[in-house]
Amino acid sequence: MSSSWDVIVDALPVLAQGSVVTLKITVISLFFALLIGLLFGLMSTSRSKVLRGIATAYVDFLRGTPLLVQIFFIYFGLPPVLDIKIPETTAGILALSLNAGAYLAEIFRGGILSIDKGQMEAARSLGLTHGKAMRLVILPQAVRRMIPAFVNQFIVTLKDTSLLTVIGIRELMNSGEIIISGNFRSFEIWAVVAVFYFLMIYILSLLSRSLERRFAK
């Protein structure tokens, strides 16, 4: 049997490749999730009952089912019924975006509601439309308060990408599993996989902390 160090060195390039895929999927998913979250967050704080109803239904449904079920449903369940082909990366990004979007919608809603009512009233009395008041007055203040919650969701989503191993996406988790199924060295490989996830999230946290310092004032 080869030494632990050799096993780790052999695995590094494959695991690094997996990490790149993990990061890519995380970033793209979070981009869409932010758009979804903003849209449904605004809808859930709007005065229209219909829009609020749609937003609540979306959040309740996506938050009320496990991400793993959503991944399987989108990738294995939908294609035969709709008679379409969904590539695994598209399906993975779709599932993660929809899921994280629901959580982000709640973060947006909470942030928006945390801003004093008087702000909106003052902006409206200055002659701003509801949309303009939201964009220029409410959201800039709300987003500042939301940063810690955002960062939390980013970290969760990065870790959630590991579930995509079930649909064959070669991200970090899948790469680790493939290596172990070939060399049976669970101990070394899982240790390195853990370190890789940790490093990615640690760097992300550092970035977000400096971001927070810049915006929090």
Partner 1 sequence: MKKLMFAVVSSLLALTVSACGSGTDQASTTSGQSGAKKYVIGTDATYPPFEFEKDGKYVGIDIDLINAIAKEEGFEVEIKPMDFKGIIPAVQAKQLDGAIAGISITDKRKEILDFSEPYYQAGLSLVVREDNTTINGEADLAGKTIAIKKGTTGATFADELGKKYGATVKYFDDSPSMFQEVQNGNADVTIEDYPVISYKITVDPASKLKIVGDRLNGDHYGIAVLKGNKELQDKLNSGLKKLKENGKYDEIINTYLSTKK
Q: How far is the CB of 74 from partner 1 (least distance, A)?
A: 12
Instruction: Give the nearest distance from C-beta 93 to partner 1 in angstroms.
Output: 15
C-beta of 79: minimal distance to partner 1 in Å?
A: 5
**Residue closer to partner 1, measured from CB, 21 or 142:** 21
Select 108 or 196, whichever has its Cβ closest to partner 1. Answer: 196
Closest CB to partner 1 among residues 25, 55: 25
Task: Write the burial class of residue 8 (CB in 10 Å: 0-12 exposed, 13-18 middle, 19+ buried).
Answer: middle
Give DSSP secondary structure letters for the chain.
---HHHHHHHHHHHHHHHHHHHHHHHHHHHHHHHHHHHHHHHHHTSS-HHHHHHHHHHHHHHHSS-HHHHHHIIIIIHHHHHT----HHHHHHHHHHHHHHHHHHHHHHHHHHTS-HHHHHHHHHTT--HHHHIIIIIHHHHHHHHHHHHHHHHHHHHHHGGGGGGGT--SHHHHHHHHHHHH--HHHHHHHHHHHHHHHHHHHHHHHHHHHHHH--
Taking the complex as a whole, how short is the minimal distance between the CB of residue 82 and partner 1, in angstroms?
11
Question: In whole angstroms, how close is the CB of 127 to partner 1 at the nearest point?
Answer: 55
Cβ distance to partner 1 smaller for residue 27 or 194: 194
Quote the CA–CA distance of 111 and 176 in Å, as a whole number.
38
Residue identified by tokens 């996406």 is 169
31 or 198: whose CB is closer to partner 1? 198
CA 30 remoteness from chain centre: 4
Would you tell me which residues interact with partner 1 (CB under 8 A)?
A: 1, 4, 8, 76, 79-80, 85-88, 165-168, 170, 174, 177-178, 180-182, 184, 186-188, 191-192, 194-195, 198
Q: Which residue's CB is nearer to partner 1, number 106 or number 188?
A: 188
Closest distance of CB 36 from partner 1, Å: 25
